[in-house]
Amino acid sequence: MRLRALLDTEALGLRLLGGEDELDRSVRGVMTTDLRDPSRYLSGGELVLTGLAWRRDASDSEPFVRLLTNAGVAGLAAGEAELGAVPDDLVEACLRNRLPLFAVNETVAFATITEHVVRQVSGERAGDLAAVVDRHRRLMTSGPAGGGPEVVLDLLTSDLDLRAWVLSPTGRQIAGAGEALPPRVGARLAGLHLAATRTGRPGPHPAEVDGTAYSLFPIRNTGRAALPVPSPDVRESVLSDWLLAVAADAGDWPAARLDLLQGVTQLIAVERDRRDAARAVRRRLAQEVLELVQTGAAPAEIAARLRVAAPVLLPGLGTAPHWQVVVARVEWTREDTAQPAGRAAQALLEEILVDPAVTGPDSADRIAVAYAGEEAVALVPLTALASRPPEEAGASAESADQDQPEAALHADALLDAVREPLSAGLGDDGRLTLGVSAAVHSAEG
C-alpha cells in the first residue's frame, strides 16, 4: 500500500506535517519504537510509529531522522498523547531529510494503525480470504445459496478494509458493501473504465475521482472471463460489461491480492450470467413482437402478442398497460466489427431503461428488449398509467394519445442520464441513437 492511502483513511487519525511529495512511497510493514537507534530492527519500507520518548531535547531529532532515512523507512508517525504537538525540530529534520512525517491524534491507538497496515500488506490474509471467495463462488455456481455478490463485498470490507462496488457500464450501482457510491462518482468511474477498456489494456485500471484513488476491474461473462484481454472486437463487449470499483490503488498490490480480486470478478460474473438467463423469456417476447412488426402483421395480431407479454412483465396487474417502444442503434465508423452491433445495443438499452436510482436487483424485469442487425427494440410498459382505474387511465384507443402517462419516457432525458460514461465507451468511432415512440395501448396494436 502507499502512504497516501493511510492519509485518506480518516479512522487512523493521521495528519500530514511534511513530505507531501513523497506520499507515493510503498509501505511494506509497520514498527513501533521509542529506541534512540532502532535501525538494527528495520529492513526498509516500514511506517515507524513513535511516542517520542527517545527525544530529550531538540538536538536529538536530526540523528534519529537520519537513522530512519538511511534504513529506508517509508515514513514516520509521531503520537501526540504524551508530549502534545509534534516538536518543530522534528518537523524540520524530516523536511531536510525528505522523510514524510505524520502526527497521530491522541485518541488513536498505535495498535489501530498497526492492524490496518498489516491487513493491507499481508499476503497470508488475502490468501485466506481467497479461499472463502472460492467457496462462495462454488455456492453461487450451483445456486443462489451463496447470498449474492454483496456477501463477498462485505468480506472485502471486513477482512481487508477494501470498499468495493459493482457498477454497470453506465455507472449504476448493482451491488456494494456499506455506504452507496454517489451516482456522479459511479458515472465518472464507468466512463474512465470504458475509456481504458477500449484501448485493450488488461485491468485493473487506475482511476481518481475527487482525490480518491480507485482500481477498476472488468467483469466479463463466464464465456470471456478466462481471457486476459477483451474479445477481439472490444467494442462489442465494452458497452455491456460490468466493473468492480475498489477504493484503493492496486498498483503495488502483491500477486495474492490481485488474484483474490480476479476471483471476486469471476464470482460476480456468475451472478451476471444468472440475470441474463432470467431475461431470456422477456427477450423472446420482444423478439416475437419485433418480427410481427417487421413482417407487416395485422394490428390485431400484434395487440394479442402484447396482451401475452403484459402478465409476464407485470404479474398481478390484471390490465393491459400502455406501452412505449424505444429503439437504440449503435453505429461504428469503422466497418470491422466481429459481432453484430445489435447485441451490444440490446445490453446497453436494457441498462439505460433501468431506473438510475435503483440499486441491487434492478427494474429491468419489466422491460423486454430484442435486437436485429444494428438495432435493439424495447417494449416498456408504462405502469403509472396502467395502475390507474380504467375510467382514469383512458384505456380506449381514441384517448391514448390525449392521456399520456406521467411516466412516459423521453429520448433526451435517457441520453442525458448516461451521456458521460457512454461518450467514453463509444469514443470517436461510435454513435448511439435513441428513438422513443408515443405511448400506445395494447388494444391498438
Q: What is the pLDDT of residues 70-123, one digit of tens each?
A: 999 999 999 987 778 899 999 999 999 999 999 998 888 888 888 888 777 665
Question: Residue 282 and residue 301: Cα distance in Å, rounded?
Answer: 18
pLDDT band at 226, cuts 50/70/90?
very low
> Residue 106 is placed in which grid cell?
491522541
Give the pairing type, strands 242-246 and 29-32. Answer: unpaired
Please say which residue of 278, 295, 328 terminates a domain.
Answer: 278
Query: Cα separation of 442 and 445, whole Å?
Result: 5
- Helix (H) / strand (E) containing 287: helix 280-294
Q: Are residues 81 and 153 in the same domain?
A: no
Query: Phi and psi (nearest 5°) for 379?
Result: -100, 115
pLDDT score at 62? 95
Q: What is the pLDDT of residues 250-296, one digit of tens each?
A: 888 877 788 788 878 877 877 777 777 767 777 787 788 778 877 88
Among residues 63, 84, 73, the alpha carbon closest in space to that of 3 is found at: 73
Both 258 and 290 in one domain: the answer is no
Residue 361's alpha-carbon distances to 148, 149, 175, 278, 364, in angstroms, are: 10, 11, 9, 12, 9
Residues 259 and 292 in one domain: no
* 393 domain residue, yes or no: yes
Same domain, 316 and 437: yes
Query: Do 166 and 182 belong to one domain?
Result: yes
User: Does residue 51 lie within any of the structural domains?
Assistant: yes
Beta strand ranges found along 14-156 (DSSP E): 14-18, 29-32, 46-50, 75-79, 101-104
CB 218 within 8 A of CB 243: yes
Contact 418, 334 (CB under 8 A): no
Are 295 and 211 in the same domain? no
Rounded CA gap, 276 and 268, in Å?
13
Domain of 290, in residue numbers? 280-441
> Is the residue at 77 inside a domain?
yes
pLDDT confidence of 235, banded at 50, 70, 90? low
Q: Nearest 5 degrees, angle CA 15-CA 249-CA 25?
A: 55
Query: How does the average pLDDT of the chain come out, rounded?
Result: 75
Mapping DSSP to helix (H, G, I), strand (E, B) and coil, where does residue 402 land?
A: coil
What single-letter amino acid sits at 301? E
Chain-centre distance for alpha carbon 271: 15
Residue 269 shares a structural domain with residue 288: no
CA nearest to 108, candidates 36, 151, 49: 49
- Claim to verify: residue 106 and residue 248 sit in the same structural domain: no
Say whether pTM exceeds 0.95: no
Predicted local distance difference test score (pLDDT) of residue 361: 47
Q: Edge-to-edge strand order for the sheet containing 173-176?
A: 173-176, 164-167, 242-246, 212-219, 205-209
Instruction: Say if residue 210 is in the same domain as residue 316.
Output: no
